[in-house]
Amino acid sequence: MADAEAQIPRVFIVRHGETEWAKIGKHTGKSDIELTPLGIRQVASTASQLVGPGKLLDPTKLIKIFVSPRKRALQTFETLLGQQHGEISGDDRITITEDIAEWDYVSCHHMFCPHLRATHLIIVLTVIYRSPQQVAEHLGRLVEQIKDLQRPFMRGEKAADVLIVAHGLILRVFVKRWLGYPVDFPLSMLMMPGSVGILTLNHSSEEPAFQIGMALPAA
């Protein structure tokens, strides 16, 4: 690998591109809608800069891929990997799972609910899961699964990156659980459509972390 940092296993989180509902402020929840043409271009632009052999997100270094089963996430995954998607579409590294599908917002489903963007996040989650503890357990299992997969490779024994392609709400809560925070911890986060975030583990202590800055692989 190019440098010592590249040997540390990472978790790439990717939010799907724009949808018609997101464009006008509707929260999509469990509705299964597709990306807009702009949403596809957003993801394609990200992919052209960051995804591919020798780039920041190198598919050959992925040991596991988790994708939401919603159309907008599946389209994002296909666009993100481009031609390489066909090569790995039947790969056993890929898991399509409801665990990272966006939660239904029940009373706000099909409605404009800007108040849900940050301060009432925990209310949205507990409508479905009834308690913060259940939310924590739900995503905590995924966090532990990923850590178990990466733990044998903390010294660079093998490339061991993980990719998650999902939705804005679920990914923001996943970040909190990765860092060991409760789901109602006041950690404001923004994630633009079609964007990529990076989580990792400190190689010396295996303490979870997120990267607040990144350098692209050297040419």
Residues tagged in the binding site annotation for substrate: 28-29, 72
Q: Which residues are annotated as a binding site?
A: 28-29, 72
Query: What is the rounded CA–CA span in Å between residue 199 and residue 161?
Result: 10
Say if residues 164 and 80 touch (Cβ distance below 8 Å): no
Say if residues 193 and 40 touch (Cβ distance below 8 Å): no
Distances (CA, A) of 19 to 22, 40, 104, 160, 191: 5, 9, 16, 31, 14
Query: What is the rounded CA–CA span in Å between residue 6 and residue 77?
Result: 23
Positive or negative: CA dihedral 186, 210, 214, 116: negative
Residue 180 C-alpha from the chain's centroid: 17
- Find the Cα–Cα–Cα–Cα dihedral 109, 115, 118, 120, rounded to 10°: -80
